[in-house]
Amino acid sequence: MKEPATFTKLLLGWYQDYGRKLPWRETIDPYKIWISEIMLQQTQVNRVKEYFYPNFLKRFPTIQDLAKATWEDVFPCWKGLGYYRRGKNILKAAQIIVQKHDGQFPLNATELQQLPGIGQYTARAILAFAFDKKVPAIDTNITKIIQILWSREKVETMAQTLVYASPSGRDWNNAMMDLATALRNGDDIKGELGQFFPPQIASKFIPTRNIKRTSLNQKSKKKSGKSKKHTIEVGIACIHRNGKYLIQSRPKGKSFEGKWEFPGGKREKGEDFRACVKREILEELGIEVSVRPHFFEEEHEFEKVHLRLRFHRCQIQKGEPQPLEKQKLDWVSPVDFGKVNFLEANEKVLERLMEMKT
């Protein structure tokens, strides 16, 4: 077992030498930190840093300025970020903070989470980065570091132990995020902290890349007398809500009975993948979902079948999921993926989802 206090001490030393310089780290204004956190949920750091963050704050420098605005005012600054519901939520939350809290952000996570669009992670991030509270803003990156070094079962408890060993909640959370970025990029962890991440450990953090696509028009090499493989294409929905993903069990009587998977189904002839996902989810769960472009694609070769799986992140637009095909349903956090008996074909996409913010 690696000593938490030693890890935190070395982590903070490493961060002092190698931490990233980011504009939202140069302020303790909870408004500016909140805006950066919402933007970073959906867009790469460099794009937020160089364009969206400065432009938004130039137009709405204070929470009072934002609270006076309408969505028509906000939209030009949010356009290109996507997830417009999040943009609308920051407008609603700003108005509530100004009207009900005199323009001051609440100082506890429970009150913060009552504001539109602020979940547990964002609430903790505001408390840590703006007010230097010793709370861990646990995302998939921090989760993965803790799971690799300590335990898959007690991420929350270990995160609390680690942050309490730090004199600064702000620095600890920033350091963990920068460490995750370095590991994800395959960088060597320099200094004494490197003892915690020898190559065989650090390699576990490097994201799995998409399997190279094979063109459907490319003719497979076949032995004489062998028929061409049948291609099956499946659109799969990774439906997320409140930091969790919806999963379903394989129905009785079907192969891999008792295993868990993300809902979805076969693409029909002439149907695009996103339309396929919408149709399948309506048929399987009785709900309407918005479907983002796919974030991961995987292909498998079997004796007579070429299988293509395309995974899309989705959000519920209408209805509540129902087991219309007599399957079991559950909501699971990425932290708990390791406790679920998933289909082996989901292994790589689970790694990708662990690296993404919900």
**Which positions are catalytic?**
37
Q: How many angstroms from the chain centroid is the CA of residue 142?
A: 12
Residue 192: HSE in the Cβ half-sphere, 13 Å Cα cutoff: 9
Residue with tokens 């394989």: 250
Q: How far apart are CA 43 and CA 35, in angstroms?
A: 12
Alpha helices in 24-168 (DSSP H): 30-40, 45-47, 53-59, 63-67, 71-78, 84-100, 109-112, 120-131, 140-149, 155-164
Residue 291 β-bridge partners: 314
Q: Is 3 helix (H, G, I), strand (E, B) or coil?
A: coil
Tokens of 316: 């519920």
Tokens of 95: 């108005």
Tokens of 18: 């190698």
Q: Write b or e for each residue in 242-275: b if 16 or more Cβ atoms lie within 10 A of its Cβ, otherwise e.
A: ebbbbbbbbeeeeeeeebbbbbbbebeeeeebbe
Q: How far apart are CA 178 and CA 13, in angstroms?
A: 12
> Which helix H or strand E contains 252, and what residues bound it?
none
Contact 245, 121 (CB under 8 A): no
Handedness of CA 179, 181, 186, 190 (dihedral sign): negative
> Do β-strands 305-318 and 230-241 pair in parallel, antiparallel, or remain unpaired?
parallel
Q: How far apart are CA 23 and CA 258, in angstroms?
A: 48
Residue 236 β-bridge partners: 264, 311
Tokens of 211: 């399997």
Question: What is the residue type of 34?
Answer: W
Q: Find, among 342, 12, 337, 345, the residue nearest to 144 by Cα.
A: 337
